[in-house]
Amino acid sequence: MPEDLPTLDKGLKELEKENENLIIKTIFKGIKHDDYDGNEYCYARELKYILGYNQWRSINDLIKLAKAACKESDNNVDYHLAVDRKMIKLAKGATRRW
């Protein structure tokens, strides 16, 4: 019977990993958006809470690091990390980028 324990332990670890992946997919599905061409994207301001950041400044620093890493690995930064600002409505009908 002790021979069965590693197999059982491995099965539990695989199940935990599957459950973790399902949770992650569900969380990110909640903030995922699609553009008119069917491309998926998310807003950093929504993503920051999932990643545990409370301030925009912190996530902005993370984006800068991601861009640097992308560039250092010879990847196209604009392809992987497109920057687009969301328009929000202000008082008296004015708008600004968020």
CA dist list (Å): 2 to 10, 14, 29, 78: 14, 19, 41, 54
Q: Which of these, 19, 20, 50, 16, lies nearest to 32 by C-alpha position? A: 50
d(CA 20, CA 14): 10
The whole-model pTM stands at 0.50
What's the CA dihedral at 63, 98, 80, 41 to 10 degrees? 120
Tens digits of residue pLDDT in 25-51: 888 888 889 888 888 888 877 888 888
